[in-house]
């Protein structure tokens, strides 16, 4: 069968190789037949609960085979799945559920307490459905009346689905400068266009063993899941606990004989820092891919020297353009630690445009705004036409010219015709692969008790985090300056990766001639605080 929708990848593999392993998570294994039949069964339960094409279903399920079953089941009903970060604070999840207007919230025992708070303390019509694993919530632990409870069962067929490739498959919520996360709409066609290109470009086969490192609410995971299923390969889900144990990550790659590793560079830099990769390590590894932030050249050199048999590729693309829009295969180990690594050339069906404020190419080698066009472009932000119009330009070069997306990144085209990045035009940063709007942190700080004024900046770092988030605070009168207390209060509003790690107390914030906070002065003071040896 020819795949027209994302779930068709699973259906096809269940027909071709039903007994082959699809997902590995620790000691748990799921074959393609089991994945297909379990997702069929759950899809029927979703349909019986009233879920129809276009309805949103939120997933409060940790990364696991059950979570993947849930994703495929949502697609088989024609629904839009909304993966939630189970470690995010409730306030942020509240905003996502409110924005997505999800009909159902799928949850498991480990997330029951959070589900209870999300659905009982707000006036929301979303209902919960319990996915039964080794244990399940009971009346003594949850007061919620579920739409259904689903023990893992199988069904031979799925509900009929009149979905189309242009239908939205999932919503991924990213940081927003106004303090409200933005829901990026990603269609079946968006994902399939990249996957089909990548399968051919990287020469995937059913013998591949693919890493599943990123969390499911992170766009990199989309490639891991559907790239694996399109090829009939095996997906190895990596526990989030590995991120703080670099030697365990190395053991994970080595012990599972992975053929592909795909992650953000900060983890790879962390592994290089602790020197956990042996010379000629990971003999089965064929490809190492990274995306989401800059990979420091010294760390790349470390990896390439130890793994001369591996192909190293830099992928680039914001969530709004699906998984990636450009690629650059590093042809040889760089000789200089300050050698820039380009984002390269467009992936199949994509275009990269470096333009000035008049939407014209700058002079040769000049820096301009980076725009992206092509098959990966999201339809826009969920229920937010104003934000969509601000960055998705409709046919800017005349009728039939197509849409382009303004990334906010600054870029240039080198003499080698490759595209190079030169930072951001706005206050958005990347830290540990996550896209973070500093304005969202500042909005949260405005409602944090103990703070009269606050400003946030970021300082680039060569360390694991990629960028150090710094917070300048003017405490409320009579209040002690206790960064750990302030950080704890802020954690009720923001996920852990958005919390400032460095804090300084001010009597008043420095202002520039326009009366705005002078972040140049703040950046200088934080830099001196972080690097006293050079002050």
pLDDT digits (tens, 9 = 90+) for 198-227: 999 999 999 999 999 999 999 999 999 999
Could you tell me the sign of the dihedral formed by the alpha carbons of 100, 214, 428, 369, in that order? Answer: negative
> Is residue 456 situated within a structural domain?
yes
CATH of the domain at 472: 3.30.300.30
Q: What is the pLDDT of residue 466?
A: 63
Q: What is the pLDDT of residue 134?
A: 44
Residue 463: which residues within 8 A CB-CB, separation 6 or more?
269, 273
pLDDT digits (tens, 9 = 90+) for 346-383: 999 999 999 999 999 998 889 899 999 999 999 999 99
DSSP letters of 463-524? STTSEEEEEEEEEPTT----HHHHHHHHTTTS-GGGS-SEEEE-SS--B-TTSSB-HHHHHH
pLDDT digits (tens, 9 = 90+) for 24-64: 999 999 999 999 999 999 999 999 999 999 999 999 999 99
Query: Would you state the structure tokens that stand for residue 74, as one six-digit string?
Result: 């949502």
Average pLDDT of the residues of the chain: 90
| Contact by Cβ (8 Å): 262, 291 | yes
> Is residue 208 situated within a structural domain?
yes
| More confident site: 122 or 367 | 367
| More confident site: 255 or 425 | 255
DSSP letters of 138-206? -TTT-----SEEEES---SS-------TTSEEEEEEE--TTSS-EEEEEEHHHHHHHHHHHHHHTT--T
Q: How deeply is 127 buried, as exposed, middle or buried, from its count of CB atoms within 10 A (0-12, 13-18, 19+)?
A: middle
Among the ranges 38-47, 359-368, 428-437, 469-478, which has the highest mean pLDDT value?
A: 38-47
The pTM of this model reads 0.85
Domain boundary among 211, 237, 263: 237
> Is residue 263 situated within a structural domain?
no
Q: Among candidates 407, 391, 412, 522, which has minimal Cα distance to 469? A: 522
Question: 370-380: buried (b, 16+ CB within 10 Å) or exposed (e) per residue?
Answer: bbbbbbbbbbb
| Contact by Cβ (8 Å): 290, 265 | yes
| More confident site: 514 or 501 | 501
**What whole-number distance in Å separates Cα of residue 512 and Cα of residue 527?**
19
CATH of the domain at 192: 3.40.50.980
| More confident site: 404 or 476 | 404
DSSP letters of 377-438? ---EETT-HHHHHHHEESSTTSTTS--EEEEEEEEEE-TTS-EEEEEESSSEEEETTEEEEH
- If you average pLDDT over residues 440-468, what whole number do you get? 77
| pLDDT-above-70 percentage for the chain | 94
Query: Would you state the structure tokens that stand for residue 330, as one six-digit string?
Result: 């590093």
| Contact by Cβ (8 Å): 63, 218 | no
Q: What is the pLDDT of residue 140?
A: 44
| Contact by Cβ (8 Å): 213, 262 | yes
Q: What is the pLDDT of residue 290?
A: 96
> Is residue 218 situated within a structural domain?
yes
Q: What is the pLDDT of residue 425?
A: 74
Query: Would you state the structure tokens that stand for residue 446, as one six-digit string?
Result: 């405005």
Number of domains in the chain: 2
Domain boundary among 214, 237, 260: 237
Could you list the residue range(s) of the whole structural domain that residue 100 is in?
7-237
Could you tell me the sign of the dihedral formed by the alpha carbons of 311, 312, 313, 318, in that order? Answer: positive
- If you average pLDDT over residues 122-139, what whole number do you get? 72
- If you average pLDDT over residues 384-407, what whole number do you get? 93
H/E/C letters for each residue in 277-334?
A: CCCCCCCCCCEEEECCCCCCHHHHHHHHHHCCCCEEEEEECCHHHCCCCEEEECCCCC
| More confident site: 3 or 30 | 30
Q: How deeply is 525 buried, as exposed, middle or buried, from its count of CB atoms within 10 A (0-12, 13-18, 19+)?
A: middle
> Is residue 111 situated within a structural domain?
yes
Query: Would you state the structure tokens that stand for residue 407, as one six-digit string?
Result: 């990334």
**What whole-number distance in Å separates Cα of residue 431 and Cα of residue 433?**
5
| More confident site: 292 or 432 | 292
Q: Among candidates 266, 320, 271, 323, which has minimal Cα distance to 293? A: 266
Whether pLDDT at 311 is above 80:
yes
Residue 344 is given by DSSP the state B
**What whole-number distance in Å separates Cα of residue 315 and Cα of residue 417?**
17
pLDDT digits (tens, 9 = 90+) for 95-113: 999 999 999 999 999 998 8
Q: How confident is the model at residue 18 (pLDDT cuts 50, 70, 90)?
A: very high
Residue 172: which residues within 8 A CB-CB, separation 6 or more?
83, 183, 184, 186, 217, 218, 219, 319
Could you tell me the sign of the dihedral formed by the alpha carbons of 504, 509, 513, 516, in that order? Answer: positive
> Is residue 140 situated within a structural domain?
yes
Whether pLDDT at 279 is above 80:
yes
Whether pLDDT at 330 is above 50:
yes
**Between the CA of residue 133 and those of 39, 277, 344, what are the distances in Å?**
15, 36, 44
Q: How deeply is 305 buried, as exposed, middle or buried, from its count of CB atoms within 10 A (0-12, 13-18, 19+)?
A: exposed
Q: How confident is the model at residue 256 (pLDDT cuts 50, 70, 90)?
A: very high
Domain boundary among 237, 272, 301: 237
| Contact by Cβ (8 Å): 199, 154 | no
**What whole-number distance in Å separates Cα of residue 318 and Cα of residue 295?**
16
**What whole-number distance in Å separates Cα of residue 439 and Cα of residue 343?**
27
> Is residue 399 situated within a structural domain?
no
Query: Would you state the structure tokens that stand for residue 72, as one six-digit string?
Result: 């495929």
Whether pLDDT at 146 is above 70:
yes
Whether pLDDT at 535 is above 50:
no
């Amino acid at each position: 069968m020819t795949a027209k929708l994302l779930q068709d990848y699973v259906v096809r593999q269940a027909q071709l190789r039903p007994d082959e392993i699809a997902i590995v998570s620790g000691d748990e294994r799921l074959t393609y037949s089991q994945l297909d039949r379990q997702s069929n069964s759950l899809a029927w339960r979703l349909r019986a609960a009233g879920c129809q094409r276009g309805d949103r279903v939120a997933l409060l399920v940790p990364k696991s085979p059950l979570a993947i079953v849930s994703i495929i089941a949502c697609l088989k009903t024609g629904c839009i799945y909304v993966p939630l970060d189970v470690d995010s604070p409730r306030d942020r999840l509240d905003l996502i559920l409110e924005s997505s207007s999800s009909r159902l919230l799928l949850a498991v025992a480990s997330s029951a307490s959070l589900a209870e708070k999300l659905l009982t303390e707000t006036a929301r019509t979303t209902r919960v459905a319990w996915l039964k694993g080794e244990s399940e919530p009971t009346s003594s632990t949850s007061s919620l009346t579920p739409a259904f409870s689903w023990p893992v069962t199988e069904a031979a067929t799925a509900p009929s689905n009149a979905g189309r490739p242009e239908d939205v498959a999932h919503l991924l919520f990213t940081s927003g400068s106004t303090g409200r996360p933005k829901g990026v709409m990603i269609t079946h066609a968006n994902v399939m266009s990249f996957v089909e290109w990548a399968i051919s470009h990287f020469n995937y086969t059913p013998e591949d063993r693919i890493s599943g490192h990123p969390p499911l609410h992170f766009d990199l995971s989309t490639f891991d899941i559907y790239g694996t299923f399109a090829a009939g390969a095996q997906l190895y889900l990596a526990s989030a606990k590995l991120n703080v144990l670099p030697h365990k990550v190395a053991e994970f790659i080595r012990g599972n004989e992975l053929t592909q590793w795909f992650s953000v560079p900060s983890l790879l830099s962390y592994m290089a820092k602790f020197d956990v990769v042996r010379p000629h390590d990971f003999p089965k590894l064929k490809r190492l891919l990274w995306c989401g932030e800059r990979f420091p050249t010294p760390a790349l050199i470390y990896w390439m020297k130890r793994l001369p048999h591996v192909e190293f590729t830099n992928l680039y693309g914001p969530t709004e353009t699906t998984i990636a829009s450009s690629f650059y295969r590093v042809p040889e180990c760089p000789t200089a630690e300050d050698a820039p690594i380009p984002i390269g050339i467009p992936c199949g069906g994509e275009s990269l445009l470096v333009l000035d404020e008049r939407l014209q190419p700058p002079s040769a080698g000049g820096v301009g705004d980076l725009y992206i066009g092509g098959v990966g472009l999201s339809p826009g932000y969920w229920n937010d036409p104003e934000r969509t119009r601000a960055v998705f330009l409709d046919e800017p070069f005349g009728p039939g010219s197509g849409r382009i997306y303004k990334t906010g990144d600054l870029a240039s085209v080198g003499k080698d015709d490759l595209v190079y990045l030169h930072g951001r035009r706005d206050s958005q940063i990347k830290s540990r692969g996550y896209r973070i709007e500093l304005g969202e942190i500042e909005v949260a700080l405005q409602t944090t008790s103990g703070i009269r004024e606050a400003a946030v900046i970021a300082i680039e770092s060569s360390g694991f985090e990629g960028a150090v988030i710094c917070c300048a605070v003017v405490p409320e009168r009579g209040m002690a300056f206790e960064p750990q207390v302030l950080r704890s209060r802020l954690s009720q509003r923001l996920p852990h990766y958005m919390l400032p790690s460095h804090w300084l107390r001010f009597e008043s914030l420095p202002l520039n001639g326009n009366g705005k906070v002078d972040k140049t002065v703040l950046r200088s003071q934080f830099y001196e605080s972080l690097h006293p040896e050079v002050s």
